[in-house]
Amino acid sequence: MTQPIPDDHAPPDPAGEGWPRLHPTTQAAYNRILWNRGLSKSEVAAKLGLSRTRMTAIGRDLQAAGLVAEGGRQQRSSTGRPADVLVARTDLFHFLGVHIRAGELVAVGIDLANEVVWERRRRIGDLDASVVGSCCRAWLAEAGTSGLRVAALAVCGSTERIDGAPEGVGLYAVAPDAARSAWQREFGVPVWAEDDVVALTAFEQWPRLAEGQDSLALISHGREIGFGLVADRKIIVGAHRRAGRFAHVRVASDGTSCPRGHRGCLWGESSWEAVVGDVPGARTPAEVFDRAEAGDRRARARLVRAARGMGVAAGHILNLLDPDKVILTGGSPSLLDAYPEDFEEGVRSVHTAEEPPLIEVTVFDTFEWARAAAGLALYRRLTASEL
């Protein structure tokens, strides 16, 4: 969503109902203060290359908008001297994330410090745009009654196939652009509808911006395999919102065919659907692990192949993007815990740099997908003009 950029010297709108309209530089200054949990004016000026006069005006504007407060004199490691610090008021606005699964919608509200302050779950029968819209409408009203001041909303789910939904029912089937625009007009706040892997990527990237982490690749492993990418601090969604579809890259020279007819693709080698389908009698990934542990060589060999395939895919991403970090999530923790050497061998088989890459493994539950959606709303709202 784009807004007209206010005049450079005009004071921002006071914090009314929604997020105040700020000049991009003022927004950038605010973001630095927020990410660092407090900065002196000279530290903000140094980070953004601003003059002292300009920074004084920006500090005044941010205080007038109620977004920052004086934090008192604090010793600063950047200069070794004490300085007056500006701190962001993190309880002023909230961001709502809704994660869509067939049968259930989960909502989370976070504050500006990225802390969860509110959550709801609702079982649903049918899943369509009117159900999603009416849940969002009810939750926005409830959040308001609970004292939240919602500045943006993000609705997330798999764009390829909503969890538990039939083949072909992705996020845009239940939150199409026309509905999203209508909700935005009706609710009076920006509304984003994006792939949940993109949301998870925003959630992981946002807190790291203060540390100078400019790039990230996130690989979500499960029944499907999704990729979230950040480069130069921008979340890459692609010209047609189809970036990150890398699940059918070739990772093995043999292997069985995937439903699309590829031999040795990542999906066919490593997705849980393919792995479970290849182990006779197994119905879940946990059962495949149990069999492997009990000495079933076929189950073990299948998991080794899955871990290696994930490694090869990670290696290709490292070669292509050279990100600060790769994060593996979803089913990755169990797979990588059990078969770390096979994963690493997969990475090494294609990764051409000599230094070992920075790879992190994290666990998310269903609730955290909604939290990630809220994180996406925060990220998108606060970087809408800056990035």
Shortest Cβ 265–Zn ion spacing (Å): 3
Residues 387 and 384: their CA atoms lie apart, in Å, by 6
Residues 220 and 218: their CA atoms lie apart, in Å, by 6
Shortest Cβ 252–Zn ion spacing (Å): 11
Shortest Cβ 259–Zn ion spacing (Å): 7
Nearer to Zn ion, 93 or 267 (CB): 267
- Dihedral sign from CA coordinates of 73, 75, 79, 80: positive
Shortest Cβ 129–Zn ion spacing (Å): 30
Which residues are CB-contacts of 357 (< 8 A; sequence separation ≥ 6)? Answer: 314, 318, 326, 347, 351
Nearer to Zn ion, 73 or 260 (CB): 260
Residues 341 and 346: their CA atoms lie apart, in Å, by 9
Q: Summarize as ranges the residues that interact with Zn ion (CB under 5 A).
A: 248, 258, 260, 262, 265, 267
Nearer to Zn ion, 108 or 258 (CB): 258
Shortest Cβ 269–Zn ion spacing (Å): 9
Displacement of CA 303 from its chain's centroid (Å): 27
Nearer to Zn ion, 246 or 267 (CB): 267
Nearer to Zn ion, 253 or 352 (CB): 253
Alpha helices in the chain (DSSP H): 24-35, 41-48, 52-64, 129-145, 171-174, 177-187, 196-205, 266-270, 272-278, 285-293, 297-321, 332-338, 340-350, 366-383
